[in-house]
Amino acid sequence: MDEKHFKISGESISGALFDFGLYFFHNAHQAIKVGQGAYFYLPKLESHLEARLWATVFNWSAERLRVPKESIRATVLIETLWAAFEMEEIIYELREYSSGLNCGRWDYIFSVIKCMKARMWLPDRSQVTMAVPFMSSYVSLLISVCHRRGVHAMGGMAAHIPIKGDPEANEKAMETVLIDKKREAKAGHDGTWVAHPALIPLVKAVFDDHLKGAPNQLHRLGDMIVSRKDLLDFDCGEGAMITMKGIQANIRVALLYIASWLSGSGCVAIDNLMEDAATAEICRAQLWQWINCKCTVENELITVALIKRIIENTNLPHVEAKKILGELVSEGELADYITLRCYENL
């Protein structure tokens, strides 16, 4: 992804390298001074060669600014199907800097759709849980690889946020978070993510209880052999299906997110869940996939006309968002990212 506002010899610079350079130049020494370090989160990697590039960037930057290499730490988000097959190699390439790997559950589902395109289809987003074969296999492999290599395995994001003014709904949401985090701790993760700081005490208590004073679970090497076939087992079980409610939910989330992004916010609360680009990407990619796989809903073929009709009837007065989503689901090829399309409108 490019940073179009900063150019070298008339060409846009890589957004990731621009952000890294700006932060590292201004903050690395200060972070060390206060007893921390330069900590980075590397998303969207697809190959060990990209990890090698980041190691080269870290090396060069540390030498140029005379920053100790050991103060630089990077956690790689495994959120693409390609990267799931190169976890060991990614850790190796970043061996001087690696804090471990992190499960990026929503982007991973998006990546599966993006890779497979019209060769298969997944059911309603709500039915693609961490228990389905390709997701549980990916998690098991990540934990096993990380622990065999002596680095941390981080769990996925708890997307729920506190619900104000409705104690019953809030209790139910927090119970969902607890179940999810207990599953992660039991699986062998060393830590996890939350979308809202209010969830930290709740989730920390789950891991403290499970770890019983230990700082991590690196001793758990995993006893499950995960094969290529397991990573590509996209069967979501009996009863997995596409519903009209699922179509409407995908359209609503995608529209609200696009409208929010165009207004300057890349993270937005929708129905008490913190939605970011990953969930919006799943929503619009699923719509495209269902159309191109010639799927049906309630015995009706899912077509561009059907989806566009629902888009237009959605109670959202943002014309540009509706236009962008309509274009994305209509195209013959699945577009790489919503944000690239939105970026053209800024």
Residue 284's pLDDT is: 97
| Second-level CATH architecture of 2-150+218-231 | Alpha-Beta Barrel (3.20)
Distance CA 229, CA 163 (A): 40
Q: In sequence order, which residues have a C-beta less than 8 Å from that of residue 166 and are 6 or more positions away? A: none
Residue 53's pLDDT is: 98
Distance CA 284, CA 247 (A): 10
Share of the chain above pLDDT 70, in %: 100
At position 281, the amino acid (one-letter code) is E
Instruction: Tell me the pLDDT band of 177, cut-offs 50, 70 and 90.
Output: very high
Distance CA 288, CA 337 (A): 13
**Residues 90-146: tens digit of each pLDDT:** 999 999 999 999 998 999 999 999 999 999 999 999 999 999 999 999 999 999 999
Residue 269's pLDDT is: 87
All CATH 3.20.20.360 domain ranges of the chain, comma separated, are: 2-150+218-231
Q: Is residue 180's pLDDT more than 80?
A: yes
Q: What is the mean pLDDT of the chain?
A: 95
All CATH 1.20.1220.12 domain ranges of the chain, comma separated, are: 244-343
**Residues 159-175: tens digit of each pLDDT:** 888 998 899 999 999 99
Inter-residue contact 295 to 306 (CB < 8 Å): no
Q: Is residue 258's pLDDT more than 80?
A: yes
Query: What is 244-343's CATH number?
Result: 1.20.1220.12
Residue 237's pLDDT is: 92
- C-beta atoms surrounding 228 within 10 Å: 10
Residue 275's pLDDT is: 83
How many residues are present in the chain? 346
